[in-house]
């Protein structure tokens, strides 16, 4: 789920050891739109601000990869 959210250019937030989950999913912790905080409240505030953009297209601005549109269900 983390990898799919990352490829779909969605904001991702975590705290208290979330780095391990990101690493296991192959998501760089320092990528645009990835927020790692010390507590849930602060992290949620930062992720909430990013959600206004819906997608973080600058994550793949270098042209290596485009944001992938959501799959049809």
pLDDT per residue of the chain (73 residues) written in tens, 0 to 9: 898 888 888 899 999 989 999 999 999 999 888 999 999 999 999 999 988 877 877 777 665 455 555 554 4
What is the spatial distance between Cα 6 and Cα 26, in angstroms, rounded to a whole number? 9
CB 22 within 8 A of CB 29: yes
Instruction: Please tell me the distance from the alpha carbon of residue 24 to that of residue 62, in angstroms, as a whole number.
Output: 24
Residue with tokens 């905080």: 37
């Amino acid at each position: 789920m983390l990898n799919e959210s990352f490829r779909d250019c969605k904001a991702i937030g975590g705290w208290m050891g979330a780095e391990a989950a990101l690493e296991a999913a192959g998501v760089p912790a320092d990528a645009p739109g990835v927020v790692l905080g010390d507590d849930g409240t602060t992290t949620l505030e930062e992720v909430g601000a990013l959600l206004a953009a819906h997608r973080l297209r600058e994550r793949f601005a270098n042209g290596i990869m485009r944001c992938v549109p959501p799959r049809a269900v």
